[in-house]
């Protein structure tokens, strides 16, 4: 028993001693860790509470460790901005050079931005993140680019001036065509400013604040490789006849072109042989073919022939007719000399223009709404109708024509062309292959039109014929007049019969009929006769003379002009 008791007591004592030692070790470890943590926190505190930039932070390669914002700004302002005036650059390209100072470009460094970035390093995020970032930068360093700005327009002007004065344009190979000679002009390389290198030199000088003399080697621009197929196709062509057209009333002659042929394999050998002969002129063995019509022949054919002439007569015995003559003279003068190219359309109203007092036109009788009235420009329809007949006999194409309301007396029925400005036009087309010229004149009470051009079918003649389909006598209206004696009459308006007429055109070559076609149907309205008749009864012993007839001076033949 005693032995067992002693043994138990010793065991308990030993366990207590072991527990006490373990606790002591734990407490010691905790105290050590606490000290370590405290030390670490102190290190973090002192690290994060440091003023100025942290170690390892550089701006444009310059160490800014411990420097405040003001110190950084002052340092770079004195080291960079103040030194700009001392940086001179000379850029050369061959014999040309340009010299300038960086201040000429308005260079300005963004020191504020760089200083702010430097002081932000290690000062963003939580304390542990900031601490480890500071340690990392201390080992590996961080460089902040010092940005700058400049006057872009000044730099571009400098580059463009340098470019323009050093540019040697590339000359591409091309063909030179003469009358019967084809020459291949070989191209040569050009030289151009290396703009990217120019910018790079300026950029490096601004960043390094170092000037000096810099050679900007030009970029060589090679001409395009000559393609045999392209040259062959440019040379090869069929002969082209000279052609006459008109533009803005003036004749334009398009010169003839000779047909050209060349052996393709021979051409390929010539190009290969001379491909490096920059600027060489190589005459090519081209075979030429003459066109049927050359330029000088075309010039000689212009307005060579009178295609047709038409004349109508008029009277000037009264004031009305005299005024009509003046109006016809004005309108004809507007048309005289008009040139139409192939395919062009003549518009009477466009060429003659408004018939107004301001344009010199006089008052004369004309047709308006079924009546004969006074109007400005009466008589102009005789001009359009005379021209229409010249057009018909020239075998030109009528685009638009309208006959008069009532029959006319200066041309056969079916061959008149009425006009009224802004309401009714007369148009025709030059359907020949050559320009035509209209010649007009009013002389000795005659309106004359000639159309000159180039007669492409010698022996061609035009005949016009007319078929009267129907005629209607003029209706008569009587007006009783108690002031006239019985049996007496006075015609106060002379009437006109109405007609329907078909017009035909026959084309002959050397007297042989080629075609006969109906041109149009013209319908002329009747114009009533108005007669006053007496109803007054008189004694047989008395005999009064009748009143004189009050008739229009003329039965005119116009629609509104």
Torsion angle (degrees, nearest 10) of CA 260, 261, 264, 267? -60
* CA distance linking residue 261 with residue 289, whole number of Å: 8
Q: Is the pLDDT of residue 526 over 60?
A: yes
- Beta strands 476-485 and 529-536 are parallel
pLDDT, tens only, 364-400: 887 766 667 788 989 999 999 999 999 999 999 999 9
Task: Tell me the whole-structure pTM to 2 decimals.
Answer: 0.63
* CA distance linking residue 319 with residue 324, whole number of Å: 9
pLDDT, tens only, 258-273: 999 999 999 999 999 9
> Around Cβ 455, how many Cβ atoms within 10 Å?
17
pLDDT of res. 379: 92
For the record, the structure tokens of 194 come out as: 């290396």
Phi and psi of 125, rounded to 5°?
Answer: 100, -170
Burial of 311 (0-12, 13-18, 19+ CB in 10 A): middle
For the record, the structure tokens of 278 come out as: 């920059």
Q: Is the pLDDT of residue 116 over 60?
A: yes
pLDDT, tens only, 169-226: 999 999 999 989 999 999 999 999 999 999 999 999 998 889 899 999 899 999 999 9
Q: What is the mean pLDDT of residues 108-125?
A: 87
Q: Is the pLDDT of residue 502 over 90?
A: yes
pLDDT of res. 548: 38
- C-beta of residue 125 within 8 angstroms of C-beta of residue 133: yes
Scanning the structure block, which residue is given the tokens 């003549």?
346
Q: Is the pLDDT of residue 515 over 70?
A: yes
If pLDDT is split at 50, 70 and 90, which confidence band does 550 have? very low
- C-beta of residue 219 within 8 angstroms of C-beta of residue 270: no
* CA distance linking residue 351 with residue 125, whole number of Å: 88
- C-beta of residue 111 within 8 angstroms of C-beta of residue 146: yes
* CA distance linking residue 329 with residue 310, whole number of Å: 15
pLDDT, tens only, 152-165: 999 999 999 999 98
* Chain centroid offset of residue 548 CA: 70
* CA distance linking residue 20 with residue 322, whole number of Å: 152
* CA distance linking residue 355 with residue 360, whole number of Å: 8
pLDDT of res. 389: 98
pLDDT of res. 39: 62
For the record, the structure tokens of 239 come out as: 């002969």
* CA distance linking residue 438 with residue 460, whole number of Å: 20
> Around Cβ 134, how many Cβ atoms within 10 Å?
20
pLDDT, tens only, 233-242: 999 999 999 9
* CA distance linking residue 509 with residue 513, whole number of Å: 7
User: For 344-381, b where at least 16 C-beta lie within 10 A, e where not — what string?
Assistant: bebebbeebeebeeeeebbbbbbbeeeebeebbbbbbb
Ranking 33-47, 188-202, 322-336 by mean pLDDT, the lowest is: 33-47
Q: What is the mean pLDDT of residues 293-321?
A: 95
Q: Which of 421, 424, 435, 397 is nearest to 334 (CA)?
A: 421
- 239-243 contacts, C-beta under 8 A, 24 or more apart: 239/289, 239/290, 239/291, 239/292, 240/291, 241/291, 241/292, 241/293, 241/294, 241/298, 242/291, 242/293, 242/294, 242/295, 242/297, 242/298, 243/298
pLDDT, tens only, 46-67: 455 567 888 889 998 888 888 8
Mean pLDDT (the chain, rounded): 88
pLDDT of res. 242: 95
Quote the radius of gyration of the chain (alpha carbons, Å).
54
* CA distance linking residue 134 with residue 118, whole number of Å: 12
The DSSP code sequence of 334-381 is HHTT-EE-TT-EEEHHHHH----GGGT--EEEEEETTEEEEEETTTHH
Phi and psi of 126, rounded to 5°?
Answer: -80, 170
Q: Which of 394, 422, 370 is nearest to 561 (CA)?
A: 422
Q: Is the pLDDT of residue 40 over 70?
A: no
Percent of residues, the chain, with pLDDT higher than 90: 63
* CA distance linking residue 96 with residue 465, whole number of Å: 85
Q: Quick check: helix, strand or coil at residue 46? A: helix
For the record, the structure tokens of 271 come out as: 């190009």
């Amino acid at each position: 028993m005693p032995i067992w008791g002693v043994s138990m007591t010793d065991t308990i004592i030993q366990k207590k001693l072991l527990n006490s030692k373990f606790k002591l070790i734990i407490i010691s470890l905790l105290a050590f860790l606490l000290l370590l943590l405290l030390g670490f926190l102190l290190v973090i505190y002192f690290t994060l509470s440091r003023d100025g930039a942290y170690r390892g932070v550089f701006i444009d390669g310059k160490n800014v460790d411990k420097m405040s914002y003001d110190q950084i700004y002052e340092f770079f302002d004195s080291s960079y901005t103040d030194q700009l005036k001392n940086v001179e650059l000379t850029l050369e390209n061959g014999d040309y050079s340009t010299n300038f100072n960086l201040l000429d470009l308005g260079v300005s460094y963004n020191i504020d931005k760089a200083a702010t970035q430097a002081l932000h390093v290690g000062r963003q995020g939580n304390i542990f993140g900031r601490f480890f970032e500071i340690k990392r930068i201390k080992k590996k360093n961080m460089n902040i680019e010092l940005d700058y700005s400049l006057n872009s327009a000044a730099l571009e002007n400098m580059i463009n001036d340098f470019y323009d004065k050093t540019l040697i344009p590339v000359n591409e190979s091309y063909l030179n065509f003469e009358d019967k000679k084809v020459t291949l002009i070989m191209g040569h390389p050009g030289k151009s400013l290396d703009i990217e290198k120019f910018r790079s030199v300026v950029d490096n000088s601004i960043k390094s604040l170092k000037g000096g003399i810099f050679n900007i080697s030009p970029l060589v621009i090679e001409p395009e490789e000559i393609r045999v197929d392209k040259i062959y196709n440019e040379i090869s062509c069929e002969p082209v006849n000279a052609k006459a057209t008109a533009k803005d009333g003036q004749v334009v002659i398009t010169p003839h072109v000779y047909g050209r042929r060349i052996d393709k394999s021979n051409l390929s050998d010539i190009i290969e042989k001379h491909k490096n002969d920059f600027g060489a002129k190589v005459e090519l063995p081209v075979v030429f073919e003459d066109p049927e019509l050359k330029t000088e022949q075309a010039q000689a054919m212009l307005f060579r022939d009178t295609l047709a002439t038409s004349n109508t007569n008029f009277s000037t015995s009264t004031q009305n007719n005299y005024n009509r003559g003046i109006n016809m003279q004005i309108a004809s003068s507007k048309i005289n000399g008009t040139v139409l190219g192939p395919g062009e359309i003549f518009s009477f109203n466009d060429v003659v223009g408004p018939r107004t007092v301001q344009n010199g036109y006089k008052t004369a009788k004309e047709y308006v709404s079924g009546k004969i009235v006074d109007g400005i420009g009466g008589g102009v329809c005789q001009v359009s109708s005379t021209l229409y007949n010249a057009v018909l006999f020239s075998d030109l194409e009528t685009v638009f024509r309208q006959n008069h309301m009532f029959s006319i007396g200066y041309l056969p029925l079916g061959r008149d062309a009425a006009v009224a400005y802004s309401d009714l036009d007369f148009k025709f087309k030059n359907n020949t292959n050559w320009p035509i010229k209209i010649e007009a004149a009013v002389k000795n009470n005659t309106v004359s039109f000639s159309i000159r051009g180039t007669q492409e079918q010698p022996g061609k003649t035009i005949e016009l014929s007319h078929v009267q389909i129907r005629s209607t006598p003029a209706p008569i209206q009587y007006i009783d007049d108690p002031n006239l004696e019985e049996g007496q009459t006075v015609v106060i308006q002379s009437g006109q019969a109405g007609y329907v007429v078909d017009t035909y055109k026959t084309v002959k070559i050397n007297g042989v009929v080629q075609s006969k076609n109906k041109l149009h149907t013209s319908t002329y309205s009747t114009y009533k006769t108005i007669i006053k008749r007496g109803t007054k009864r008189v004694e047989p012993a008395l005999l009064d003379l009748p009143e004189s007839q009050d008739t229009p001076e003329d039965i005119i033949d116009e629609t509104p002009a």
